[in-house]
């Protein structure tokens, strides 16, 4: 079954969590990392590999011989800066032993939000992969303006899903201290059932996820389900599995029944819409009525007649969130009009726009080609 579902894998993103890379005290688990590198190198003999790594803060904890993670954002950022050096140095030595070249990319949310920077990263990654160089990616915590909980992507599960969409990966593997998805918390309920394959992520699947991470990590099953929802909509299969055995990396690609497989959606978002849905920065929001909501879900553009309200100020060409009247997020898209202009034509028909404004850019407020349902 798995072998058929995961055949013809040519490009894979592998994300390794902090709990897998570090010991209980937060120091780097070098024997485990050696095994991880060995398996990534073996994989790279035949297919493209992108490695999304956690562990910088944990490595910093180990370097300074701390017994726990500090609570101060500044201290965490300092630990990330210290730990990133030892982490990448170790990777360089280990990958070199297998004849592999690596490249480091430290990214922030702004790198994904800005379309030009996003495309630059995409081009750089594709160039590296064409040369069989393994990009090693982590979030650039020390330079994030509002701290680790500020303008971060959020966690490396979400980062790995963004990267999978960026490089158009066939498979995303997330390894951590979690075996996969259960219908309820297996540490609390003995009758918890393991879920082998998820064909579609619905509210029931989302409800199965908890929110607690491990001692040194930031992600739990909840962040992994969010990542799975993102990746599968972008056309990438995703497997959540235990990182206790690094051989799982190769075995998963080979098609072994390991972890939970989330199947990619047949109707995938193209690269631009994936960026709109998950990578772009949002400048404001447009509130729409039920008729416009149904139109969007049926593949139609957003027209002024279906708009009820506008939140925040934004210019023409800004990326905006589109919400229903219950404030549920429906989509994100590029607005053909500014917030001030939309306020004047809210609820009016498209053929009235020119009469009201004195000009008309487009019939649509947000064209379907520039809109991604989320």
Annotated binding-site residues for substrate read 54, 141, 156
Phi-psi region of 28 (alpha: psi -120 to 50; beta: other; left: phi over 0): beta
What gap in Å lies between CA 353 and CA 218, rounded to an integer?
A: 48
Length of the chain: 374
Give the CB-side neighbour count of residue 205, counting CA atoms within 13 A. Answer: 20
Dihedral over Cα of 60, 61, 65, 71: its sign: positive
Q: Which of 256, 265, 187, 170 is nearest to 221 (CA)?
A: 187
Per the annotation, binding residues are 15, 54, 141, 156, 176-177, 218-224
3-state secondary structure of 202: coil
What gap in Å lies between CA 61 and CA 172, rounded to an integer?
A: 28
- What are the residues whose beta carbons fall under 8 Å from the beta carbon of 178, sequence distance 6 or more? 220, 221, 224, 240, 242
Show the CA angle centred on residue 7, arms to residues 10 and 233, nearest 5°.
75
What gap in Å lies between CA 77 and CA 88, rounded to an integer?
A: 16
Per the annotation, binding residues for ATP are 15, 176-177, 218-224
Asked whether 128 and 135 are in contact (CB, 8 A), the reply is yes
Q: Which of 317, 357, 362 is nearest to 335 (CA)?
A: 317
């Amino acid at each position: 079954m798995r072998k058929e579902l995961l055949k013809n894998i040519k490009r894979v993103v592998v994300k390794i969590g902090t709990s897998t890379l570090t010991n209980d005290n937060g120091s780097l688990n070098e024997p485990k990392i050696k095994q991880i590198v060995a398996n990534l190198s073996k994989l790279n003999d035949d297919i493209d590999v992108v490695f999304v790594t956690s562990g910088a803060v944990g490595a910093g904890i180990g370097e300074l011989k701390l017994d726990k993670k500090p609570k101060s954002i500044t201290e965490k950022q300092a630990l990330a800066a210290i730990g990133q050096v030892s982490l990448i140095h170790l990777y360089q030595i280990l990958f070199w032993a297998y004849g592999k070249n690596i490249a480091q990319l430290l990214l922030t949310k702004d790198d994904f939000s800005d379309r030009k920077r996003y495309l630059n990263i995409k081009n750089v990654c594709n160039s590296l992969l064409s040369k069989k160089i393994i990009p090693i990616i982590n979030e650039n915590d020390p330079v994030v303006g509002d701290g680790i909980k500020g303008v971060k992507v959020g966690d490396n599960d979400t980062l790995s899903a963004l990267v999978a969409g960026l490089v158009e990966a066939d498979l995303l593997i997330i390894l951590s201290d979690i075996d996969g998805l259960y219908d309820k918390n297996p540490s609390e309920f003995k009758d918890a059932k393991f879920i082998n394959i998820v064909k579609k992520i619905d509210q029931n699947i989302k409800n199965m996820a908890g929110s607690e991470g491990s001692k040194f990590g930031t992600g739990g099953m909840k962040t992994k389900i969010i990542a799975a929802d993102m990746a599968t909509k972008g056309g990438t299969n995703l497997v959540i599995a235990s990182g206790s055995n690094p051989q799982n990396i190769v075995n998963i690609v080979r098609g072994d029944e390991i972890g939970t497989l989330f199947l990619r959606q047949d109707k995938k978002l193209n690269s631009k819409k994936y960026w709109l849905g998950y990578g772009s920065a949002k400048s404001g929001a447009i509130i729409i009525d039920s008729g416009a909501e149904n139109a969007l879900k049926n593949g139609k553009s957003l027209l002024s007649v279906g708009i009820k309200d506008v939140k925040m100020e934004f210019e023409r060409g800004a990326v905006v969130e589109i919400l229903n009247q219950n404030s549920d997020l429906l989509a994100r898209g590029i607005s053909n009009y500014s917030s001030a202009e939309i306020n004047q034509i809210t609820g009016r028909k498209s053929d009235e726009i020119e009469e009201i404004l004195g000009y008309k850019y487009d019939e649509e407020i947000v064209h379907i080609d520039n809109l991604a349902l989320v």
